[in-house]
Each structure stands twice: as structure tokens, then as C-alpha cells.
Amino acid sequence: MSENKTVSFTAMKNGTVEDYKIIAANDDETAKELPDKLIGHLKEMAKDDGAYKISRLDHVLQCATRAHRDGADADWIIAGLFHDIGDVLAPYTHGQVAAEIIRPFVKEEVAWVVRNHGSFQMFYNKSLSEEARNTRDKFKDHKFYQLAVDFCEKWDQNSFDPNYKTETLDFFIPLIREVFTRIPFSQ
């Protein structure tokens, strides 16, 4: 977008067609920057928060590596990379945050699994009551239930291993650029 192009209004209801063209052009530029912004956020996850044997970045890289090595498609590998991207900003709703980031670019079932993976991960938390651990049961009849069980079992819950040979972030950058420059799905 050319420099110094700003809208004329101070209230949206007073905007002109030209104003909204300026906004649309700005949004297009912002969308082009999305892969780099997401990569930057992943790099921020490398900061050790002390709770795990590996960093949050290492966890999502390990999850994505497992998905990749299992022959998963690009959408599922992206799910592995981004499922916990909301941890720092929204620890209690991180799945919803992550799902909304990836939703326009991935299949519906992938976004649903990412949105709900926290409920499915509770199954492994032995400090919780039996009822709390089985929170995922509320989704038992959902068409994507088994996909979420499998995502957590095969890729997420076991990706805290400091000895696992994990691919680097650089390995996944071409895939991040490919997926987040797709024309968004209409969902």
C-alpha cells in the first residue's frame, strides 16, 4: 500500500467507498505478512517457561514432526505447529485462539480438533477427577471426535521428549508460507 493513505473518517458510518478501498488494500498487505508474523510468534515460544523439559516451541515442533513422519497432510502438520500458539496469551482458551488463527486456511476438521484439543488432553492429566479427565466424552457423538483422540494420542501428549529427534522451525517454514498464503476456505 502506498504511504500516507489513510481513511477520511473518524466514525465508520461516515466512511466513503474510497475509504473502504484503502482499508481493503491495507488488509491485503497485512495478510501477506501473516506467515512472517506467525513464524515470529513461534520463535517467541522458544522462551523456556520452566514447566516442561522442553520449550513450547520444541513441543509444537515435535508434534508437527510426528505428524510429518506419520505422513499427515499439510493441514495436520500446521495443526501440530500451531495448536498451542495461544498458550501465553490465553492459557484457558488457547485452543480456541489457535483454531481461529488457522481456521481460514485449513480443513474444518483440523480447526475443530485444534479448538477442542484441550478437552481431549485432559484425559492424560492424572491430577484431575475421573469426570474431569473424561471431559472429551461430551464430544463422543461428534463426527471429528476420533480425529481429536488420535491427534492427542499420536502427536500431542507424547511431544515433550527432550531426546526426540525433532525437525527445526526452518524445516517447516516453507509449509507455513504455503498454507498461510492460500486463499482462505469459506467456513
Asked whether the predicted pLDDT for residue 2 surpasses 50, the reply is no
CATH homologous superfamily, domain 38-179: Hypothetical protein af1432 (1.10.3210.10)
pLDDT of residue 183: 85
Q: Is the pLDDT of residue 50 over 80?
A: no
Angstrom distances, CA of residue 123 to CA of 10, 65, 164: 50, 23, 23
**What's the pLDDT band for 51 if we cut at 50, 70, 90?**
confident
Residue 103's nearest CA partner among 159, 95, 41, 90 is 95
Q: Does residue 85 contact residue 99 with C-beta atoms inside 8 Å?
A: no
What confidence tens digit (pLDDT) does each residue in 63-116 have?
A: 999 999 999 999 999 999 999 999 988 999 999 999 999 999 999 999 999 999
Q: What span, in angstroms and rounded, lies between the C-alpha atoms of 39 and 76?
A: 17
The confidence score (pLDDT) of residue 73 equals 98
pLDDT digits (tens, 9 = 90+) for 120-165: 999 999 999 999 999 999 999 999 999 999 999 999 999 999 999 9
pLDDT value for 1: 40
Q: Is 117 helix (H, G, I), strand (E, B) or coil?
A: helix
- One-letter amino acid at 88 equals V
103: its cell numbers: 481456521
In the block, residue with C-alpha cell 508460507: 177
